[in-house]
Amino acid sequence: MTDAPAAPTPPPAIEAVMREQALAVGYAPASARDGFAALLDLDHQLASILQSTTEPMIGQMRLTWWFEALEKLDREPAPAHPVLQRLASSVLPGGVRGADLAPMIEGWEALLDDGEPLDDERVARHAEARGGVLFASVGQLQGQAGMAPLGTAWARADLAQHVSDHAVRARIAGAALSELDGVLTAKSPKPARGLSGLAVLARESLRHPDRLPGHPLRAARLAWHGLTGR
C-alpha cells in the first residue's frame, strides 16, 4: 500500500505551530537544523494520519507502512516521498538510523481509538515513543545526550492540547506541567535550546491556554529562552 499524500496547505492552526517550531529550529546549531526540521516534518506526518483517519484499522495500516518505510531507509534508497527523502539526506548522515525512528510509530499507535479509555499507560507509551525518540534523535544530531525526558514531557503536554474529554485533558495536562517544570529546572546548554525551546512553548500552552501559537508573548518567551537558556 502507499500512504495518502499530505495536504498541500495545512490548516491555519497547524501553520501557526509549524512557524513557532521553525523559530525553535533556528536556535539549534546550524549543522543540525535541516535534520531537526525533517524530524519535525515526520512528526507532523504521523500526527496527520490520526487526524485524518476515522477507522482504526485504516490508521493501523498507514502507520505500519511508515514503520516499514523508516526501517527500509537503512538499506534502500528513499522512495519518492518528501519526508522520507529529507530524512535520508539530513538525518541519516548524522548517525540516526531509520530503525531508530521507527519506534515513533508505536507512540502514535497508542492513540488509535479502539474504544478503550486513554489511561496513563497509553499516554506514557505515546509520550515516550513519540517525544522521547524524536528529541533523542535531534539530540544526537546536535551532540546532546539525555534529551529523551525533555521530549517525553513535551509530547505529554502536546497531547493534552488535543484531548476533547475535559477530565482526561486535565489529568494529562497536570502530569505534563509537573514533568516540564522538572526537566526545565536547569539552564539549557546553548546547542540544546531549540529542543528545550519546544518544551518551553509546550509549558506556555499549559500555563496560558489563551495564548495560542503565534501569540507575540509566546515568541518573546522563546526568544528569551534562546538567549538565556532559562
From the first residue on, what is the mean pLDDT of each consecutive set of 10 residues in the chain (230 residues)? 50 87 96 97 96 90 97 95 97 98 97 85 97 98 96 98 93 97 96 97 96 95 97
Burial of residue 6, with CB atoms counted within 10 A of its CB: 0-12 exposed, 13-18 middle, 19 or more buried: middle
Note whether residue 81 is domain-resident: yes
Note whether residue 45 is domain-resident: yes
Q: What is the pLDDT of residue 124?
A: 97
Coil, strand, or helix at residue 92?
A: helix
The residue range of the domain holding 61 is 15-217+221-225
Note whether residue 26 is domain-resident: yes
Q: What is the pLDDT of residue 185?
A: 95
- Number of domains present in the structure of the chain: 1
Q: What is the pLDDT of residue 54?
A: 83
**Alpha carbon distance 225, 170 (integer Å):** 26
Find cell 490548516 and name the residue: 11
Note whether residue 42 is domain-resident: yes
**Alpha carbon distance 139, 183 (integer Å):** 15
φ, ψ at 119 (rounded to 5°): -85, 180
**pTM for the structure as a whole:** 0.93
Q: What is the pLDDT of residue 5?
A: 44
Residues 6+ apart with CB under 8 A from 186: none
Note whether residue 7 is domain-resident: no
Q: What is the pLDDT of residue 116?
A: 79
Q: What is the pLDDT of residue 9?
A: 59
Note whether residue 2 is domain-resident: no
Q: What is the pLDDT of residue 145?
A: 95
Note whether residue 147 is domain-resident: yes
DSSP 32: G
Note whether residue 9 is domain-resident: no
